[in-house]
Structure 1
Amino acid sequence: MKIINKLKYIGLAMLTLFVSACENGFDEINTDPNSPVAVPASTLLTNGIFNVGYTYWDRDLNFEFGELMVQHMAQNEYTEEQRYSFATSDFNFRWGNLYSGQNVAAPTGGLYDLAAARALVEANENLSDAQRANQLAVIDIYMSFGFQMITDMWGDIPYSQAFQPGEYPFPAYDTQEAVYTGMISTVTNAVNSITTSADGFTSGDILFEGDMADWQAFGNALLIRMGMRSGNSAAVAAGFGGSLPTSDVALVFQESQDVSNPFYQDKVVSSRDDFRISEELVTAMNAQADPRLEFYAMPAPGTDVIVGMPYGLSDGDAFTRKNSTSDIHTNIEDDPTAPAYLFSMAELEFFRAEAIVRGYITGDDAAAFAAAIDHSVAQFGASSPGYGASISYGTNKLNEIAEQKWIALYTNGVEAYAEWRRLGHPALVPSAEAVAGVTGIPSRMLYPNTEDGTNGDNLAAANGGSNTLNDKLWFMP
């Protein structure tokens, strides 16, 4: 199964137009009045796949929020985020990039491009029924991947009325429970509609190069993720009952500055040096002689020892430790082509172990637990045969799965943050320097003030009318 592919077609993505998710209709977004040239669905697909995946791995959502909230990383200066100092305006970019493609650090695009591609596919009379069904399945699966990212970060979101500006210029917010019900239904239908022997997209598919068997396997993996997060045992069983990825699902970036890995863009292109591996993670890994630690971080300057940065310090206290603590590993930060893991084999096996423990499926949970850890060890380039089986398991299985999953999801802040909130373990201590009014580690992102200005009436009813960092989301215990 060909899972990791180079981004071969990003140049085409630059053709995509800047559009607003709530202002223009699909009949307008593909036409330049001065030079009428239609943007093909394949180009919109390229842009959508890249930009949703880029946002998933980018600084704003991933390591400046998700990784900080789960204390994989700590800031060594400008420590506002790890002290939970956020305003609604801080989330304008994050929200806008996903809904309307307002990313200035990479080619424009987002879920809007995927929705536009879907409309073009539906209207294309030159496609066979099987190819049309396959192309729609690709778009529906990847849009659901993006929607899950959004709802897991914010809670209630525009979903059923999103990207239909002609009919719904001010889209209503669906509850997170309704969003999950909708996503599971959409992905289930998409997986079941795929004909693996027929063509999908013959160009523009930068994730699987048109291989519909790979898209079907990815869809089943997403059903498992969505089912586990929402407690939908039927979705979990259906996912495990179908074909599944046999290697990590990832985007591999290019050396070109505009399409390089976000960690590289932050550290090398932008010359930022704001993060260290956290003392909390280093302590947990040292306690089990974890072979991944030397691949997670570099030795502290002038030493051969990895030293974590205490989490949640004030700007001044953190800065005094900047030159005596360990930076993120160069394999992660200095490689422009390092992959963004959209779904890892480690995650799949941790879900399998948990699903067995919860009685959703049958099998050997201990074997799945050990396999998950070993997959993670391999993912980060370490070599330690049998390490997974050496980790204690069986006393409190769900907490042990949660602890090891927390370690394994390092660098994937979106999933680590969602799983930590869902499983409630490990017991992380909030920043002692937290700003006034924030009680505990934030449970969600804030709705942006741009949304308040353009869709305020519907926003006012979202999340029960509350918009604070500590609002508990539906999937949280």
Structure 2
Amino acid sequence: MNKLIKYTLTSIVAVSFLNCTGDFESINTDPNGISNESLTQMNNHIGGSFTPMFLNVFNVTPAWNYQLQQNLMGDVYSGYMTPPTPFAGNVNNMTYSLMDGWNGFPWSDAYENVMPFVLDVKNAVAVGGDESGVKFVHLANIIRVSAMHRVSDIYGPIRYTKFDDFATTGEYDSQKVAYNAFFNELGDAIDGLAAYENDTQFIPFDMSSLGGDIALWRKYANSLRLRLAMRIVNVDPVLSKTQGELSLNSNAGLLETIDMKINTGFSHPIATISGSWGDIRMSAEMESILSGFKDNRIEKYFNPAEDASLAGAYKGIRMGIAIEAKGQYVGHSSIGSVVDGETMQWMTAAEIWFLRAEAALRGWSNAGDAKSNYEAGIRASFTQHNVAGIDAYLADNTSTPKDFVDALNPANNIAYPSTIKIAFNSNGTNEEKLEQIITQKWIAMFPDGQEAWSEFRRTGYPKIFPVVINNSGGTIDTNIQIRRINFVQNEKNTNNANVTKAITLLNGSDNGGTRLWWDVSGSNF
């Protein structure tokens, strides 16, 4: 917490310096004050703007903000978690009655606490006149892409390339334009930071596990480029392969041995949402897959059910079912020690190995061998969570996900629609191999439900159970499932002309049933 206080005070000083409009003379002559010259020498006029960015790619406090930014959206639509709470009389996001009052938080967190501070960094560097300050611009852009690709993957078109100009800040980019901008900014950062790998000036401001190491930030940016390259593989395979091979062949390398986490100084919000409030529990899909696979990670991800009738089993809840009262299912499995501590996961080393495995399936240069990468990804995840039994797990060619049985209502029972196994099927089709890769990637990325939801929409894997109750009024197909979130109501109220134009950039109507640009139906190959 002392570290967080230091960051917060630095941020306050920096933002005050950047935004203050008066009384400069008295401040600059106060012998007990901090002069502009001192701020510049310490880079606090730049570095302090990173704090709100780090704390809002995932909003970490208050916990209810994270609940609306991530938990009652990506975390549930990914098949990771399900609330036992029948919010709004059970007519809510889980039953496809999309809640405008909830669903604006990913947008507002980004546009109030990330995008403006990136602009502050750019302006401070420009005013300072120190050419080496460009490294801070590159770092800010990496964080901006980290945040804004998530926002785009929720809504589609976003305000991005024209944001920095007051005259055009309200205008939207299509998702295609935004993704091209992401690639350009990441490429510039990867190349531009190469000259600063021994620079230490970012260390005081870096709240991540990378510790201000510019070489590691290049790896992260390159890994993020690989993630986004794979995201668009079904809609633009040429650009996807080009960007993917740039990553795979870059001298920056990839985050294959280190997880990207943010040291926030706050308890993980899911620990509060699950432990203190009892508002989120294990999903039916997690129960089916982890229990069926006899996967030891279940003990880190979840706690045994507290309901005495379940005899200490790991028990999940199917999303979109009839829930009359919280007391019915609240005794099911809460979220486990994976959310203990004060860190927020942005990317895991395991994810990189699974990206490499898929790249190998697609024949991308320098991707390596699909089976070896697949197994390396599982090993990395087991290592991350300090779980034993990896060798037996990798050799298991019989276990499959189990059918889901609702503890209270047999009407919610459902067979798992796949016989996928753990041991890599070298003789399978590419589609069969991809299901294995994405299913294990899904397990390994927990608890980042937003990224898992995006990958489910892109690939169709793993198999997510359809809702039982669909209150969308026909806008969301029960079997195809939810594909996006409609544009933010506040934007419609204050920026309506540009939102109206943005709707024309979609592949359909502004509702949850419309696929995003990269979300293409059909085969993955």
Letter in 2 for 1:366: K
Q: 1:230 aligns with which of 216, 229, 232?
A: 232
Match of 2:143 in 1: 142
Contact 1:134–1:200 under 8 Å retained in 2: no
**Residue equivalent to 2:171:** 172
Structure 2 residue runs of 5 or longer lacking an equivalent are: 28-35, 37-43, 234-239, 397-421, 521-525
Which moves more between the two structures, 367-376 or 296-305? 296-305
Q: Aligned pair 1:11/2:8, yes or no?
A: yes
TM-superposition CA deviations, 1:274-311 (whole Å, max 9, x none): 11101221111122111111111111123332122233
Deviations 1:45-89 (A, max 9, x none): 122222224369932232211111022111111242211222333
1:467 Cα deviation from its structure 2 partner:
1.5
Matched, 1:457 2:457: no
Aligned-partner Cα distance in 1 for 2:182–2:261: 21
Tell me which residue corresponds to 2:205: 204
- TM-score normalised over the length of structure 1: 0.86
* Aligned-partner SS, 1:223: helix
What residue in structure 1 maps to residue 286 of structure 2? 281
Are residues 1:250 and 2:261 paired? Answer: yes
Which runs of 4 or more aligned residues in structure 1 lie more than 4 Å from their structure 2 counterparts after TM superposition?
A: 16-19, 32-39
Please say if 1:422 is aligned against 2:458: yes
Percent identical among aligned pairs is 23
CA contact (8 A) 2:85 2:279 kept: yes
* SS of alignment partner, residue 125 of structure 2: helix
What RMSD in Å do the two structures reach over aligned CA positions? 2.5
- Is contact 1:61-1:414 (8 Å) kept? no
Q: Quick one: distance in 1 between partners of 2:185 and 2:359?
A: 22
For 1:29 and 1:192, the matched residues in 2 are separated by 28
Shift of 1:32: 5.0
Which residue does 1:214 correspond to in 2? 216
Distance in 2, Cα, partners of 1:98 & 1:16: 22
> How many equivalent pairs are there?
441
Distance 1:224 1:120 in 2: 30
Task: Output aligned runs, 1:250-399, within 5 Å.
Answer: 250-254=261-265, 259-267=266-274, 271-301=276-306, 302=308, 303-316=311-324, 319-323=327-331, 325-329=332-336, 331-333=337-339, 335-337=340-342, 339-361=343-365, 362-386=367-391, 387-390=393-396, 391-394=422-425, 395=428, 396-399=432-435
Q: Distance in 1 between matches of 2:60 and 2:515?
A: 23
For residue 105 of structure 1, what is the aligned residue in structure 2? Answer: none
The equivalent of 1:23 in structure 2 is none
Counterparts of 2:75 and 2:106, CA distance in 1: 15
Q: Does 1:97 align with 2:101?
A: no
Report how far residue 267 of structure 1 moved: 4.3
Identify which range, 343-352 or 79-88, moves more after superposition: 79-88
User: Per-residue displacement from partner, 1:9-59 (whole Å, max 9, x unpaired)?
Assistant: 43226517999xxxxxxxx96115478977711111122222224369932
- Where 2:293 maps in the other structure, the secondary structure is coil
Task: Give matches, 1:150-165, under 5 Å.
Answer: 150-165=151-166
Other-structure match for 2:444 = 408
How far apart are residue 111 of structure 1 and its match?
A: 2.2
1:314-346 CA distance string (max 9 Å, x none) = 2317642322x21111x145x342x21111011
AA at the equivalent of 1:50: L
Q: In 2, Cα distance between the equivalents of 1:85 and 1:35?
A: 52
Letter in 2 for 1:250: K
Contact map agreement 1:155 1:463 (CA 8 A) in 2: no
What is the rounded CA distance, in whole Å, between the counterparts of 2:217 and 2:139 in structure 1?
Answer: 7
Q: 1:455/1:34 Cα in 2 relative to 1: closer, same or farther (>3 Å)?
A: farther
Out of 55, 58, 73, the position equivalent to 1:65 is 73
CA distance in 2, matches of 1:92, 1:33: 35
Q: Distance in 1 between matches of 2:395 and 2:359?
A: 19
- Deviation track 1:226-268 (CA, whole Å, cap 9, x = no partner) reads 11112211111111223222210101332xxxx3322234346
Distance 2:13 2:241 in 1: 39
Task: Please identify, of 340-349 and 59-68, the stretch whose mean Cα deviation from structure 2 is larger.
Answer: 59-68
Would you say the 8 A contact 2:79–2:283 is kept in 1?
Answer: yes
Larger Rg: 1 or 2?
2
Moved more, 35-44 or 297-306: 35-44
**SS of match in other structure, 2:180:** helix
Greater RCO, 1 or 2 (C-alpha within 8 Å, sep 6+) = 1
Task: Give 3-state SS (helix, strand or coil) of 2:248's partner.
Answer: helix
Question: Does the CA-based 8 Å contact 1:144-1:183 persist in structure 2?
Answer: yes
Distance verdict in 2 for CA 1:419–1:217, change over 3 Å: same
* Residues 266 and 87 (structure 1), Cα distance of their counterparts in 2 relative to 1, 3 Å cut: closer
Query: What letter is aligned with 1:328?
Result: I
Amino acid at match of 1:439: D
Structure 1 gaps, min length 5: 1-5, 20-27, 102-109
Instruction: After superposition, give the CA deviation of every residue in 1:180-238 in whole Å (9 maximum; x if it has no partner).
Output: 11110111011101111334435322223431111111111111011111221111111
2:139–2:189 contact (8 Å) kept in structure 1: yes
- One-letter amino acid of the counterpart of residue 258, structure 2: S
Distance 1:264 1:321, change over 3 A: closer
Amino acid at match of 1:10: Y
